[in-house]
Amino acid sequence: MMCLATGVGMSPKTKQGFKGDGMALPERMNFGIFMAPFHWLGDNPTLALERDLETLEWLDYLGFDEAWIGEHHSAGWETISSPEVFIGVAAERTKHIKLGTGVASLPYHHPLMTANRMVLLDHLTRGRVMLGVGPGALVSDAYQLGIDPPSQRPRMDEAIGIIKRLLTETEPITYESDWFTLREAMLHLRPYTQPYFPIAVAAAQSPSGMVAAGKHGLGVLSVSVVRGGSISTNLGDFWKIAEETAAEYGNTMDRKDWRVVLNVHLAESKKEAMEQVREKSAAFQYDYFHQTMGMPFDYEGPRDKIVDYMVDNGAWCVGTPDDLISKIHELSEQTGGFGGFMIQATEWGTREEVMHSYELIARYVMPQFQGSLTNLETSQKWSEQHRDELQNLKTVSIDSSINQYKNK
Q: Which of 98, 86, 127 is nearest to 30 (CA)?
A: 98
Q: Looking at domain 2-372, which CATH architecture does it have?
A: Alpha-Beta Barrel (3.20)
Predicted local distance difference test score (pLDDT) of residue 298 = 86
Q: What is the 3-state secondary structure (H, E, C) of the chain?
A: CEECCCCEECCHHHCHHHHHCCCCCCCCCEEEEEECCCCCCCCCHHHHHHHHHHHHHHHHHHCCCEEEECCCCCCCCCCCCCHHHHHHHHHHCCCCCEEEEEEEEHHHCCHHHHHHHHHHHHHHCCCCEEEEEECCCCHHHHHHCCCCHHHHHHHHHHHHHHHHHHHHCCCCEEEECCCCEEEEECCCCCCCCCCCCCEEEEECCCCHHHHHHHHHCCEEEECHHHCCCCCCCCHHHHHHHHHHHHHHCCCCCCHHHEEEEEEEEECCCHHHHHHHHHHHHHHHHHHHHHHHCCCCCCCCCCHHHHHHHHHHCCCEEEECHHHHHHHHHHHHHHHCCCCEEEEECCCCCCHHHHHHHHHHHHHHHHHHHHCCCHHHHHHHHHHHHCHHHHHHHHHHHHHHHHHHHHCC
Q: Would you say 322 and 329 are in contact if contact means Cβ atoms under 8 Å apart?
A: no
Predicted local distance difference test score (pLDDT) of residue 11 = 38
Distance separating the N- and C-terminal Cα atoms of the chain: 47
Predicted local distance difference test score (pLDDT) of residue 192 = 98
Q: What is the pLDDT of residues 192-244, one digit of tens each?
A: 999 999 999 999 878 899 999 999 999 999 986 544 444 445 788 889 999 99
Q: Would you say 229 and 299 are in contact if contact means Cβ atoms under 8 Å apart?
A: yes
Predicted local distance difference test score (pLDDT) of residue 224 = 64
Kindly report the average pLDDT of the chain as a whole number: 92
105 CB-near residues (< 8 Å, 6+ apart): 71, 134, 135, 136, 137, 141
- The string over 66-79, giving b where at least 16 C-beta atoms fall within 10 Å of a residue's C-beta and e elsewhere, is bbbbbbbbbeebbb
Q: What is the pLDDT of residues 308-360, one digit of tens each?
A: 999 999 999 999 999 999 999 999 998 999 999 999 999 999 999 999 999 99
Residue numbers in the chain where pLDDT is lower than 50: 1-23, 226-232
Predicted local distance difference test score (pLDDT) of residue 233 = 53
